[in-house]
Amino acid sequence: MISRRYLPSMPSLLALEAVDRLGSASAAADDLNLTQGAVSRQLQVLEGQLGLSLLIRDKHRLRLTPAAQDYCREIRRALQSLSQASLTLRANPNGGALNLAILPAFGMHWLAPRLARFAAQHAEVTVNLSTRLKPFDFAITNFDAAIHYGRQDWPGVAYLPLMQEDLLAVAAPGLLKAPLREANDIFSYPLLQLESRTGDWGRWLAHHGAPGQRPAAMLFDQFATMTQGAIHGLGIALVPLFLIERELAENRLVPAFGQPVKSLGSYFLVWPKDQPPRAPLTSFRSWLATELSA
């Protein structure tokens, strides 16, 4: 239950946010299309309701007290959330929205080609996609669910397994004239790897009978840029096979050595397990389970 005792009116909050952003009541009045007196009254009402001073009057400029500046940062976040909620409602007035955090490569190559089928079956749901590379706290975001790669090590979430990766060592044909004779031959070439998976080359070598090594490599934050680096001859890269099927078919990349190896982690759909799921998420999970079984 929300206590209304310290719940200020929207005009008062907008007035304080505008003064903090613009530095004067007159500038805030212009921004809000109000008179300067109206802005001043809203600030007085807010100070009276909270029982403390929020402003420092310095000649012709208004400054917020340090405590009021912290308060205003929270107000600004709340106003942005309200604005986003209104935009979401306008985008889909007859249904609900699913806010999904995705990993860029997986979202582009695995999820996006399938989303049209979900949209056809659930026209009432609008799917909003945003990129997040690492786990986060669902409690301080508006995400309903996320795509996670790794193990089941994201605290406080439930998991739906999606797929495991097969990693293939690849290079540009201009860099690698013929496949390597043995795994250790990779040390004769520059290596590329994802900065979040710095152990992949060591595991790849161990799989091919050369354990206990952790070779240095050029780091990338996303598979897309690393794949382009490999295509342009920067080095040998370990890339999930499902991301480079076209590049292999078009001979822009060639296998360097051996067959694909299983990655250490898997892809999951995750969502907060201590919150009742909203209808759009329930529909999305059911649809994903059907896609996976097919």
pLDDT in tens, 33-56: 999 999 999 999 998 888 889 888
Residues 150 and 123 in one domain: yes
Residues 228 and 287 in one domain: no
Residues 281 and 154 in one domain: yes
Taking the complete model, does pTM exceed 0.75, yes or no? no
Residues 206 and 80 in one domain: no
Ramachandran sector of residue 150 (left: φ over 0; alpha: ψ -120 to 50; beta: rest) = left
Q: Is residue 207 part of a domain?
A: yes
Question: How many distinct structural domains can be found in the chain?
Answer: 3
Residues 53 and 179 in one domain: no
Q: Is residue 5 part of a domain?
A: no
Q: Which amino acid is at 92?
A: N
Residues 116 and 170 in one domain: no
Print the domain residue range for 25.
10-89
Q: Is residue 65 part of a domain?
A: yes
pLDDT in tens, 171-207: 999 999 899 999 999 999 999 999 988 889 999 999 9
Residues 133 and 174 in one domain: no
pLDDT in tens, 58-115: 766 778 899 999 999 999 988 888 887 777 667 655 558 899 999 999 998 999 999 9
281 vs 290: CA distance, rounded Å: 14
Q: Is residue 100 part of a domain?
A: yes
Q: What is the CATH number of the domain that holds 54?
A: 1.10.10.10
Pairing of β 96-102 and β 261-272: unpaired
Q: What is the CATH number of the domain that holds 217?
A: 3.40.190.10
Q: In the listed set 74, 89, 104, which residue is the last one of a domain according to the structure?
A: 89
